[in-house]
């Protein structure tokens, strides 16, 4: 047997190891997700943007050997965009499955990113897939699609973001097992930054230290704090030769705020970190 293949039965791990998305667990999320999948429970990943939710789903799809279908939610997303629609053909109309229907038929993992962005009348089409029925009624064709084995529903949700404007209904929330994603512990985050960018460990640790200081500015009005994604971006610039403090200004400070006083406070923290 090819040495790069792990035996699924023995190790609970599938697929070609070389293809595995890099994901460093930060708690028991891998085990809990596997149990949810085995039991057919829908999963909600809660946490700020850029903290590893999408990477986690990619990793779990690889680990569980399921295709992954990702849908980015927005407020124009309609039930038809998820389920499908009749399209005009030369001599009539033809039904086309939407991405949710395809996932249900294929037994894929279906990941709805930022589900809170979708309207309530769109989100309710998920409900029959999240309980014992595990089926998707297609009103326009009269078909009732039962979820193929392996189908899993995953949504992500950023609790801080636009909380005042939008939130999920309790009747929707209670259909999911929730996994909390915060920023990783500093040593874990430094390993991620180093691995994702190729930057040395000392610089990765300094970036994480800076992130800790910047995240504390949340209390002083910084609405969005720097995510692991921004640290990786700064490190990638630095690896390409941009001096680290400049890389931090471009990849971390500027994207986070336009407000002069906050930018100045962040610049001071950058300077203090890389003296």
Site for ligand ADP, rule CB under 6 A = 22-24, 26, 47, 49-55, 184, 192, 196, 228-229, 232
Shortest reach from residue 233's CB to ligand ADP, in Å: 9
Residue closer to ligand ADP by CB (options 113, 147) is 113
Which two structure tokens, joined as six digits, stand for 45? 């990943």
264: phi then psi, degrees, rounded to nearest 5 = -65, -40
Residue closer to ligand ADP by CB (options 55, 66) is 55
Shortest reach from residue 56's CB to ligand ADP, in Å: 6
Residue closer to ligand ADP by CB (options 15, 107) is 15
Shortest reach from residue 119's CB to ligand ADP, in Å: 21
Which two structure tokens, joined as six digits, stand for 103? 């996932």
Residue closer to ligand ADP by CB (options 50, 152) is 50
Shortest reach from residue 48's CB to ligand ADP, in Å: 7
CA distance 134 to 8: 26
CA distance 61 to 9: 16
Give the distance from CA 83 to its chain's centroid. 21
Which two structure tokens, joined as six digits, stand for 52? 């590893």
Shortest reach from residue 27's CB to ligand ADP, in Å: 10
Quote the longest CA-to-CA distance of the chain.
Answer: 71
Counting every residue written for the chain, the total comes to: 275
Q: Which residue is nearest to ligand ADP (CB)?
A: 52
Shortest reach from residue 65's CB to ligand ADP, in Å: 20
Which two structure tokens, joined as six digits, stand for 158? 């950023």
Shortest reach from residue 75's CB to ligand ADP, in Å: 19
Residue closer to ligand ADP by CB (options 49, 273) is 49
CA distance 169 to 171: 5
Residue closer to ligand ADP by CB (options 148, 223) is 223
Q: Which residues pair with 85 in a beta bridge?
A: 96
Residue closer to ligand ADP by CB (options 206, 230) is 230
| Residue spans of alpha helices (H) in the chain | 8-11, 29-39, 53-63, 79-83, 99-106, 120-123, 170-173, 186-197, 201-215, 228-239, 244-248, 254-256, 260-273
């Amino acid at each position: 047997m090819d040495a790069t293949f792990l035996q699924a039965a023995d190790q609970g791990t599938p697929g070609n190891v070389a293809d595995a998305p890099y994901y460093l667990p930060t708690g028991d999320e891998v085990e809990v997700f596997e149990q949810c999948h085995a039991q057919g429970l829908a999963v909600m990943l809660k946490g700020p943007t850029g903290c590893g939710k999408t990477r986690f789903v990619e990793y779990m799809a690889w680990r569980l050997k399921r295709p992954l279908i990702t849908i980015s939610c927005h407020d124009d997303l309609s039930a038809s965009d998820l389920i499908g629609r009749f399209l005009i053909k030369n001599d009539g109309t033809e039904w086309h499955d939407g991405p949710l229907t395809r996932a249900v038929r294929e037994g894929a993992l279906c990941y709805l990113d930022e589900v809170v962005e979708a309207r309530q009348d769109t989100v309710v089409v998920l409900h029959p897939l999240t309980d014992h029925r595990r089926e998707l009624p297609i009103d326009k064709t009269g078909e009732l699609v039962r979820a193929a084995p392996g189908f899993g529903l995953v949504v992500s949700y950023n609790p801080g973001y636009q909380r005042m404007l939008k939130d999920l209904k309790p009747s929707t929330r209670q259909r999911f097992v929730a996994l909390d994603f915060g920023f990783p512990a500093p040593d874990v985050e430094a390993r991620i930054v180093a691995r994702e960018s190729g930057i040395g460990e000392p610089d990765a640790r300094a970036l994480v230290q800076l992130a800790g200081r910047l995240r504390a500015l949340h209390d002083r009005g910084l609405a969005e704090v720097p995510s692991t994604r921004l640290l990786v971006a700064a490190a990638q610039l630095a690896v390409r030769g941009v001096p680290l403090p400049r890389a931090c200004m471009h990849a971390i400070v500027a994207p986070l705020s336009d407000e002069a006083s906050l930018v100045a406070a962040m610049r001071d923290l950058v300077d203090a970190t890389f003296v």
